[in-house]
Amino acid sequence: MCGIVGYIGKKEIKNILLNGLKELEYRGYDSAGIAIIQNENMQVFKAVGKLENLERKTKNFKTEGFGIGIGHTRWATHGKPTELNAHPHLGKFSYVVHNGIIENYKELKESLEKKGYQFVSQTDTETIIHLFEENYKKSNDAFKAFKETIAKLKGAFAILLLTKAEPNTIFFAKNGSPLILGKNDENEIFFASSDAPLIGHAKEIVYLEDGEYGYANEKEIRIFRNSKAIEIKFSPLTDDKEFAQKGGYRFFMEKEIYEQSRVVSETIMGRVTQDSIDFDEFDESFFENIENIKICACGTSYHAGLASAYLFERLAKIPCSVEIASEFRYKEPLLNKNTLFIVISQSGETADTLEALKIAKKAGLRTLAVCNVDNSSIVRLADTTVLTRAGIEKGVASTKAFATQMMVLWMLVLYLANLRKNIDKNVFEKEIDAILHTPKILVVKNHLHEKIKRLSKRYLHGHGFFYIGRDLFFPLALEGALKLKEISYLHAEGYPAGEMKHGPIALADPELFTIALMPKNILYEKIKSNVEELSARDSTILAISPYEFELADDFIKTADYNHPMLEFFEMMLIVQLLALEIAVRLGNDVDMPRNLAKSVTVE
Ligand code: M6R
């Protein structure tokens, strides 16, 4: 999501921070900022938009001699991309940069406001700095105050904090968001949220673990866990930048598949508790008199829309239709003012989706965007937006954007089901349990990935792939097929399993690969018969299911979950990895497949 850097040393601090942020800019760039303390003087600079704006702003600023500094490049989660919302956030004598989300920021903010603290931003991060200064007032001990502050924070964070109270020290903490500390032989200390900014500067690094915190200055680096100082084990740092940006993965797509567990936790964070779902972005009145829902989107986002329609109707009991945006915009649609119009887009710039949104707005419909990029054209136009919080997605083949879209839509379904009293309390609680369990399912298991790598060698030829599924798993079949064709250039189709017999089954022979999504919780017996029909016609079958399937040529066993969405997310991972491994074996450029663009801003 966001990126953070820190520096202690004698070199030109501004340049070190800005160069570090440049390495992280791919993670988020709606605003950026730096704060520096030198000779007890504090300086802060912030700018909205790309880093070049901050570079321009700091053009005439230079440091000489020893100092400390922190920097941040932001990808908005709470509050618009404005200068006030940009990091570092300041108190009276301290600055903080933060990655992640403070879940309990509202309670903390309320209690600090009662004590007279004034908040100038809409961010969760600002609470950290006021809380720190409040704690410092009591003890006059900066480290103690920092320790007490992080003990109060719930959620995910990587934090760097500077204070005039200890002008040569950076305080740091990590929980759920990455943070690395590095040093070299010139007595310089570096911090960053990924290793790319450290390359060429730090010689040795240590990846902080969750729950660790500490402080660093020219004299010492101390790291603590559960109030006890730990022995710091540094390891040498690679000098391959591209490798570091990809976090050691071969492709951004692979990295993004592996990130899904973490980003989906961020999607959920602060929105779901054990017995409720809540969105800061709107209140109940936004949905007054809504009778039905229409969803418009393209590509992967369209598939997320299609899958969610099953949930809107089944759980929230709201009629829901889904249309491909490029079709919708020219069909002269008949629209009704009591329709909620939802657009879904990773980039927020897709021309067809944007046009569909304009049509809906013009017709006076209430509009809601599910989007990953704050301040994008779609976000600016929609009445309200739920941000998916996937962070920048670099791979052209969308993966983590899809996972987070699905999560937002599922939460929205339950929010509406609850609002309209259409869901039984027990069912609602089970759904929440499943939501909270999803990040665990999205952790890629080594043995699964290895199995898919091995399997992939059998699927490099043939005259086509049919991904088949029913119900929710039909849109997932479409998504699996889209992933494969985008990056492998093999022909693949997603099809409703029950529809195969109405034509496509004519294609069945050993060179036709069927990827069968056979979940336990939805229509297992039905899809089993559909796959048997294909097997009888000699199609090569790869079955993905918790149940052994004797007619399968290949089989990927999934876990025995009791909720269809958990099966959905596990199978989503499998089809993503399968596409990746087939494309890798074919020697294709997975991140930049031919003929495609990440953001489709033309018709
Ligand atoms: O940015 P959007 O979600 O609006 O983009 C829509 C499609 O262009 C996008 O999902 C595309 O299909 C991806 N390449 C799929 O992997």
C-alpha neighbours within 13 Å on the C-beta side of residue 279: 26
C-alpha 243 – ligand 1 centre gap (Å)? 26
Please report whether residue 579 resides in a domain.
Answer: yes
Is residue 213 scored above 60 in pLDDT?
yes
pLDDT-derived band at 78, boundaries 50, 70, 90: low
Question: Which residue, among 469, 458, 416, 408, has the nearest Cα to 435 in the 3D structure?
Answer: 408
Is residue 1 scored above 60 in pLDDT?
no
Q: Is 315 in the pocket of ligand 1 (CB under 6 A)?
A: no
CA angle 478, 415, 407 (to 5 degrees): 35
Domain boundary among 211, 245, 279: 245
State the CATH number of the domain containing residue 238. Answer: 3.60.20.10
> With 0-12 CB in 10 A as exposed, 13-18 as middle and 19+ as buried, what is 60?
exposed
Give the mean model confidence (pLDDT) for residues 40-47: 92
Please report whether residue 178 resides in a domain.
Answer: yes
Q: Is residue 175 domain-shared with residue 271, that is, in the same domain?
A: no
- State residue 375's pLDDT score: 75
Give the mean model confidence (pLDDT) for residues 199-208: 91
Question: Which residue, among 299, 316, 370, has the nearest Cα to 341 in the 3D structure?
Answer: 370
Beta bridge partners of 72: 4, 33
Could you give the C-alpha distances from 12 to 18, 107, 446, in angstroms and in order? 10, 40, 43
Cα 111 from Cα 53, distance rounded (Å): 36
The answer to whether the beta carbons of residues 481 and 509 sit under 8 Å apart is no
Is residue 262 scored above 70 in pLDDT?
yes
pLDDT per position as a tens digit, 166-192: 999 999 999 988 899 999 999 999 999
Please report whether residue 7 resides in a domain.
Answer: yes
Q: Is residue 454 domain-shared with residue 576, that is, in the same domain?
A: yes
Q: Is residue 120 domain-shared with residue 149, that is, in the same domain?
A: yes
Q: Is residue 384 domain-shared with residue 481, that is, in the same domain?
A: no
pLDDT-derived band at 461, boundaries 50, 70, 90: confident
- State residue 143's pLDDT score: 97
C-alpha 299 – ligand 1 centre gap (Å)? 5
Domain boundary among 217, 245, 273: 245
Cα 219 from Cα 217, distance rounded (Å): 5
| Helix or strand holding residue 255 (H, E) | helix 252-268
Q: Is residue 346 domain-shared with residue 420, that is, in the same domain?
A: yes
| Helix or strand holding residue 32 (H, E) | strand 31-38
The answer to whether the beta carbons of residues 149 and 160 sit under 8 Å apart is no
- State residue 27's pLDDT score: 58
Q: Is residue 73 domain-shared with residue 161, that is, in the same domain?
A: yes
pLDDT per position as a tens digit, 469-528: 999 999 999 999 999 999 999 999 999 999 988 988 888 888 899 999 999 999 999 999
Q: Is residue 207 domain-shared with residue 262, that is, in the same domain?
A: no
Q: Determine the residue of 346, 373, 408 to mutate for testing ligand 1's pocket, defined as the one with the most ligand atoms within 8 A of the Cβ atom.
A: 346
The structural domain count of the chain equals 3
In this prediction the pTM is 0.78
Please report whether residue 591 resides in a domain.
Answer: no
Q: Is 353 in the pocket of ligand 1 (CB under 6 A)?
A: yes
The answer to whether the beta carbons of residues 126 and 89 sit under 8 Å apart is yes
- State residue 24's pLDDT score: 79
Q: Is residue 71 domain-shared with residue 153, that is, in the same domain?
A: yes
- State residue 585's pLDDT score: 96
C-alpha 342 – ligand 1 centre gap (Å)? 16
Q: Tell me the percentage of the chain whose pLDDT exceeds 70.
A: 97
pLDDT-derived band at 28, boundaries 50, 70, 90: low
The residue among 376 and 437 whose pLDDT is bigger is: 437
Task: List all residues 6 or more positions away from 173 whose beta carbon is below 8 Å from its beta carbon.
Answer: 146, 150, 157, 158, 159, 179, 212, 213, 214
Q: Is 345 in the pocket of ligand 1 (CB under 6 A)?
A: yes
Q: Is 31 in the pocket of ligand 1 (CB under 6 A)?
A: no
Please report whether residue 598 resides in a domain.
Answer: no
pLDDT per position as a tens digit, 282-292: 999 999 999 99
State the CATH number of the domain containing residue 522. Answer: 3.40.50.10490
Q: Is residue 176 domain-shared with residue 101, that is, in the same domain?
A: yes
Ligand 1 atom with minimal separation from the 299 CA = 12
Give the mean model confidence (pLDDT) for residues 91-105: 91
Is residue 87 scored above 60 in pLDDT?
yes
Q: Is residue 130 domain-shared with residue 207, that is, in the same domain?
A: yes
Domain that holds residue 402: 254-441
Q: Is 399 in the pocket of ligand 1 (CB under 6 A)?
A: no
- State residue 564's pLDDT score: 97
pLDDT per position as a tens digit, 443-454: 999 999 999 999
Average pLDDT over the chain, rounded to whole? 92
Give the mean model confidence (pLDDT) for residues 11-35: 85
Q: Determine the residue of 343, 398, 600 to mutate for testing ligand 1's pocket, defined as the one with the most ligand atoms within 8 A of the Cβ atom.
A: 398
Q: Tell me the percentage of the chain whose pLDDT exceeds 90.
A: 77
Q: Is residue 168 domain-shared with residue 315, that is, in the same domain?
A: no
- State residue 55's pLDDT score: 94
**Omega within 30 of 0 (cis) for the link into 510:** no
- State residue 382's pLDDT score: 97
Q: Is residue 67 domain-shared with residue 216, that is, in the same domain?
A: yes
- Which residue has 């953001």 as its token pair? 599
Is residue 244 scored above 90 in pLDDT?
no
